[in-house]
C-alpha cells in the first residue's frame, strides 16, 4: 500500500498529517500529489467533495513553497466563503509544523479592508479566494500574482454555476503562463472543457471513481407520496431513524424556513440554513450543526455548500433538484469514510421521471421505501433507547455520590413500574402523536394518470369565485408570488366556488405551491397544494361542459 512517504512529502508535512490521523493517502491524493510535486503537467481531476481533495492539492502546494520569497506563489480559487475558510483552515493544519507560512483566505461578503490589511502587512504565500473578491483586490493593487507557480480551481463546476466564468478568465489571464494548473470538478460540462483547453497545458485527466458516480456506500431510497403527505412522510422517516444526523434539502428559501420552523415547533432538534439569513446566523447554525447540537439541518443547496461535515447518516431530498449533478452532490455528503449512508428522496408521482433520470446517470437504483407505520416507529424508538441503555458507559466513581438520593427517592417503585415510566417519559410525545394518525402508503403512479397537458402540473389554490377571483386575479396571484421567474407557463385555469385548479409549468410547480402558501387574499392565508385525485376528476368533468378558455401568461 502506498504511503505518504512514498508520495514524496517532507518530514514537517508528514508529522502534521500523522497528527491529523491520516494513515494512508486517499485515492485522489495518491493520484494528484505526485503530479503536482513533479510539476510537469496540468491536471483535471474529476472528484466529488469528501474525497480528500484539500490534502491532494494542499500538501504539494505547501511542499513547493519557497518561504524565503514573501510573494504569493499559489492561488486556490473556490466558489464560496465557507469553502475558502475551510480550505485555508485545513492548509494551516497541514502547515502546523512548517514555520512562517502565510495562508490568507479572501472572499466576498466580508470586510475588504481587513483583507487588504492582512495582505499588505502579513503577505500571503498562498491565497485562497472566491474569484470576485480576488479580482477586486487585484484591481486595488493588493494582490500580486507575478510569482504564482500554482493555481488550483476547486469545485470549478460550482464556480461556473455561480456565474464566476468571466472572473476566472480574468484571473487566469493575469497569472504567469509558466505555472501549473489543477482543476477539480465533480462534473465535466463543456465550459470546464473550454477552460481546460484554453488555460491548461496538455492536462492529464484523473477520474476518481466513475464520472458522476454516487458514492458506492450510499443506499438510495425513494418514497413516492402525494404532495400533501410530504411533510408527514419526512416526520415519519425522521422518527424512524432516532440517531439521524443529516441534512434535509429543500428547493427554496421559503420552503427551507417553513419546514425547519415546523420541525422545531414539533419538538425536533432542527434549524434552517439558507441565503436569507445573515452571515452571523449562518455561521452560528453551521457551527451548531458541526457540533451536533442540531441534528437536522434544513438547507438549500447554495447555503449548504462548503459545509464540511463528515459522518452524516442521512441526506433527505425534501424536494428533488432539477439537475442530477446536484443530487449526486447532495447524496455524496453521506456514506463517507467507509460508512453506509442513506440518501432519501421524497417525491410526488410527477417526479417519477426525475428519479429515472438520476438512476440513468448514476447507474444506481433507488429502493422503493415503505412508509413506516406509527407502530413500527414507536418500537424502533424504544429499541434504540434500550440499545443506548445497554451500551452507555457507567462511571461508577462519578455517580456514586448521586445514587443514594436517587435510590431513596425511587425505592417505592418496582422495576416494571420504573421501566414503564422511563419509556413514557421518553416517548409520550411520539406515542400520542401516532396514536390517532392513520398510516398511509406510497402512492402509485397510475392513480395520477389523469388527462393533463404534457409539462404541466395541476395545482389547487384555495380561493374561488366566492372570493371574487377571476382568471386575471389568479394569474396575478401567481405572478406576484413568482416574481423571480419571469417566464412561468400557465395553462388551463378552472375556477370553482371555493377553489380553483390551475395547470402550471411542471418544473416550477413545487415552488409555486410553496410560494402561494405564503400569500394572503382578503386577509386570509392562501391554501395551496397539488390537486388531489378527486379534484382532478372534478376538473376533467368540468372540462366537458364549461369550455374554459386557455389562459397563458404573457
Ligand atoms: P476533503 O475532500 O478535502 O473535504 O476531505 C474529506 C475528509 O477526509 C476531511 O475530513 C479530511 O480531513 C479527511 N481526509 C483527507 N485525507 C485523508 C486521509 N488520507 N486519511 C483520512 N482522512 C482523510
The pLDDT tens digits for 6-39 are: 999 999 999 999 998 888 888 889 889 988 888 7
Output the domain CATH number for residue 501: 3.30.70.330
C-alpha of residue 376 to centroid of ligand 1, in Å: 37
> Is residue 180 a part of any domain in this protein?
yes
Domain count for the chain, please give it: 3
Describe the crossing of helices 81-94 and 11-20 by its angle, rounded to 10 degrees: 120
In short, whether 19's Cβ falls inside 6 Å of ligand 1 is: no
* Percent residues over pLDDT 90 in the chain: 35
Q: How many helices (H) and strands (E) does the chain have?
A: 22, 20
284 within some domain = no
Q: How sure is the predictor about 236, in pLDDT bands with cuts at 50, 70 and 90?
A: very high
Same domain, 164 and 141: yes
pLDDT band at 215 (very low <50, low <70, confident <90, very high): very low
Report the mean per-residue pLDDT for the chain: 84
CA of 157 to the centre of ligand 1 (A): 21
Q: For a pocket test of ligand 1, which of 29, 54, 88 has the largest count of ligand atoms closer than 8 A to its C-beta?
A: 54
Split at pLDDT 50, 70, 90, the class of 255 is very high
Residues in contact with 337: Cβ distance below 8 Å, sequence separation at least 6, in sequence order: 310, 311
Q: Counting Cβ atoms within 10 Å, is residue 240 exposed (0-12), middle (13-18) or buried (19+)?
A: middle
- Which is higher by pLDDT, 456 or 536? 456
> What per-residue confidence (pLDDT) applies to 437?
74
State the distance from the centre of ligand 1 to the C-alpha of 25, rounded, in angstroms.
9
200 and 219 part of one domain? no
Indicate the SS3 state at residue 121.
helix
> Same domain, yes or no, for 152 and 103?
yes
Q: How far is CA 488 from CA 176, 187, 320, in A?
A: 46, 29, 19
**Do 148 and 28 share a domain, yes or no?**
yes
The reported pLDDT for the residue numbered 222 is 92
Does 119 share its domain with 183?
Answer: yes
Q: Judge whether residue 279 has pLDDT over 90.
A: no
Q: Based on the domain organization, do 118 and 224 belong to the same domain?
A: no
pLDDT surpassing 80 at residue 453: no
pLDDT of 117 reads: 92
Reported as a pLDDT band with limits 50, 70 and 90, residue 534 is low
The response to whether residue 308 sits with its C-beta less than 6 Å from ligand 1 reads yes
Residues 399 and 463 in one domain: no
Does residue 53's CB lie within 6 angstroms of at least one atom of ligand 1? Answer: yes
Pocket test for ligand 1, best of 4, 22, 57 (most atoms within 8 A of CB): 22
User: Which cell numbers hold the place of 165?
Assistant: 466564468
**pLDDT digits 0-9 by tens, 33-70:** 988 888 778 999 988 777 889 999 999 999 999 999 99
38 contacts 56 by C-beta, under 8 angstroms: no
Domain membership flag for residue 301: no
Residue 342 maps to which CATH number? 3.40.50
Q: Which of 52, 54, 57, 186 to mutate to test the pocket of ligand 1 (most atoms within 8 A of CB)?
A: 52
pLDDT digits (tens, 9 = 90+) for 68-106: 999 999 999 999 888 899 899 999 999 999 999 999 999
The answer, yes or no, to whether residue 270 has pLDDT greater than 60, is yes
Please, are residues 135 and 165 in contact by the beta-carbon 8 Å criterion?
Answer: no
Considering the domain boundaries, does residue 264 fall inside one? no
Same domain, yes or no: 172 and 63: yes
CA of 325 to the centre of ligand 1 (A): 22
What is the DSSP-derived secondary structure letter of residue 549?
P
Mutate to test the pocket of ligand 1, among 2, 55, 83, 311 (most ligand atoms within 8 A of CB): 55
Q: Which atom of ligand 1 is closest in space to residue 310's alpha carbon?
A: 10
pLDDT at 449 over 60: no
* Res 76: pLDDT: 98
What are 490's strand-pairing partners? 504
Question: Are 240 and 156 part of one and the same domain?
Answer: no
Q: What is the pLDDT of residues 298-353, one digit of tens each?
A: 999 888 876 878 678 999 999 999 888 889 888 888 876 666 789 999 998 888 88
Q: To the nearest 10°, the Cα dihedral for 543, 544, 546, 548?
A: 40
Per DSSP, 207 falls in state E
SS3 209: coil
Q: Are residues 72 and 196 in the same domain?
A: yes
**Shortest-distance Cα residue to atom 20 of ligand 1:** 22
Residue 232, pLDDT above cutoff 50? yes
| CB 328 near ligand 1, within 6 Å | no
For atom 22 of ligand 1, the residue with the nearest CA is: 22
What the block records as the C-alpha cell of 16 is 502534521
Cα(29) to ligand 1 centroid in Å equals 10
User: Are both 536 and 401 inside the same structural domain?
Assistant: no
Q: How far is the CA of 49 from the centre of ligand 1 (A)?
A: 10
Instruction: Tell whether the model's pLDDT for residue 369 goes beyond 70.
Output: yes
**pLDDT exceeds 70 at position 553:** no
Alpha helix stretches (DSSP H) within 374-414: 374-391, 396-400, 403-410
Cα–Cα distance, 4 to 24 (Å, whole number): 6
Give the SS3 label for residue 219: strand
Q: Please give the pLDDT value at position 537.
A: 57
Domain range holding 135? 5-207
- pTM equals 0.47
Planar angle of CA 456, 460, 464, nearest 5 degrees: 125
Q: Does 263 map to a domain?
A: no
What is the CA(28)–ligand 1 centre distance, in A?
A: 10
Instruction: Compute the distance from residue 341 Cα to the ligand 1 centre, in Å.
Output: 17
Q: What is the largest CA-CA distance in the chain?
A: 85
**39 CA distance to ligand 1 middle (Å):** 23
CA-CA distances (angstroms) from residue 536 to 54, 135, 334, 530? Answer: 52, 54, 38, 10
On whether both 105 and 33 belong to a single domain, the answer is: yes
Amino acid at each position: 500500500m502506498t504511503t505518504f512517504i512514498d508520495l514524496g512529502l517532507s518530514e514537517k508535512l508528514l508529522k502534521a498529517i500523522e497528527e491529523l490521523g491520516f494513515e494512508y493517502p486517499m485515492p485522489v491524493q495518491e493520484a494528484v500529489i505526485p503530479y503536482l510535486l513533479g510539476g510537469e503537467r496540468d491536471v483535471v481531476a474529476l472528484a466529488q467533495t469528501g474525497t480528500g481533495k484539500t490534502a491532494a492539492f494542499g500538501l504539494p502546494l505547501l511542499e513547493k513553497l519557497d518561504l524565503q520569497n514573501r510573494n504569493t506563489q499559489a492561488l486556490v480559487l473556490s466558489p464560496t466563503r465557507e469553502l475558502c475558510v475551510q480550505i485555508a483552515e485545513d492548509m494551516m493544519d497541514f502547515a502546523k509544523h512548517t514555520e512562517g507560512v502565510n495562508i490568507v483566505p479572501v472572499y466576498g461578503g466580508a470586510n475588504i479592508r481587513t483583507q487588504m490589511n492582512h495582505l499588505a502587512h502579513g503577505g500571503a504565500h498562498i491565497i485562497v479566494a472566491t474569484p470576485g473578491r480576488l479580482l477586486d483586490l487585484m484591481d486595488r493593487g493588493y494582490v500580486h500574482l507575478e510569482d504564482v507557480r500554482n493555481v488550483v480551481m476547486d469545485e470549478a463546476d460550482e464556480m461556473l454555476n455561480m456565474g464566476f466564468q468571466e472572473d476566472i478568465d480574468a484571473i487566469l489571464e493575469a497569472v504567469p503562463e509558466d505555472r501549473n494548473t489543477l482543476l477539480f470538478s465533480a462534473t465535466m460540462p463543456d465550459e470546464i472543457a473550454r477552460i481546460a483547453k484554453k488555460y491548461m497545458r496538455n492536462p492529464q485527466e484523473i477520474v476518481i471513481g466513475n464520472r458522476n458516480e454516487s458514492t458506492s456506500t450510499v443506499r438510495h431510497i425513494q418514497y413516492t407520496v402525494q404532495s400533501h403527505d410530504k411533510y408527514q412522510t419526512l416526520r415519519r422517516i425522521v422518527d424512524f431513524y432516532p440517531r439521524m444526523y443529516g441534512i434535509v434539502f429543500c428547493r427554496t428559501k421559503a420552503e427551507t424556513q417553513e419546514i425547519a420552523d415546523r420541525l422545531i415547533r414539533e419538538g425536533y432538534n432542527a434549524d434552517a440554513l439558507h441565503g436569507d439569513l445573515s452571515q452571523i446566523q449562518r455561521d452560528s447554525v453551521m457551527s451548531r450543526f458541526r457540533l451536533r447540537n442540531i441534528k437536522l439541518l434544513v438547507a438549500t443547496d447554495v447555503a449548504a455548500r462548503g459545509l464540511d461535515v463528515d459522518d452524516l447518516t442521512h441526506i433527505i431530498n425534501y424536494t428533488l433538484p432539477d439537475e442530477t449533478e446536484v443530487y449526486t452532490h447532495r447524496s455524496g455528503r453521506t456514506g463517507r469514510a467507509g460508512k453506509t449512508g442513506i440518501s432519501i428522496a421524497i417525491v410526488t408521482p410527477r417526479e417519477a421521471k426525475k428519479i429515472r433520470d438520476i438512476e440513468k446517470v448514476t447507474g444506481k437504483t433507488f429502493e422503493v421505501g415503505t412508509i413506516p407505520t406509527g407502530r413500527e416507529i414507536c418500537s424502533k424508538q424504544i429499541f434504540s433507547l434500550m440499545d443506548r441503555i445497554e451500551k452507555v458507559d457507567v462511571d461508577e466513581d462519578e455517580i456514586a455520590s448521586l445514587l443514594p438520593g436517587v435510590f431513596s427517592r425511587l425505592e417505592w417503585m418496582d422495576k416494571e413500574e420504573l421501566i414503564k415510566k422511563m419509556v413514557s417519559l421518553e416517548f409520550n410525545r411520539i406515542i400520542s402523536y401516532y396514536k390517532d394518525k392513520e398510516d398511509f402508503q406510497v402512492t402509485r403512479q397510475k392513480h395520477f394518470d389523469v388527462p393533463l397537458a404534457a409539462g404541466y402540473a395541476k395545482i389547487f389554490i384555495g380561493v374561488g369565485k366566492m372570493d371574487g377571483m377571476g382568471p386575471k386575479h389568479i394569474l396575478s396571484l401567481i405572478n406576484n408570488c413568482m416574481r423571480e421567474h419571469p417566464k412561468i407557463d400557465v395553462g388551463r385555469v378552472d375556477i370553482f366556488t371555493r377553489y380553483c385548479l390551475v395547470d402550471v409549468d411542471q418544473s416550477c410547480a413545487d415552488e409555486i405551491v410553496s410560494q402561494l402558501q405564503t400569500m394572503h387574499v382578503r386577509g386570509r392565508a392562501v391554501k395551496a397544494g397539488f390537486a388531489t385525485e378527486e379534484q382532478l376528476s372534478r376538473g376533467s368533468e368540468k372540462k366537458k361542459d364549461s369550455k374554459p378558455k386557455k389562459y397563458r401568461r404573457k
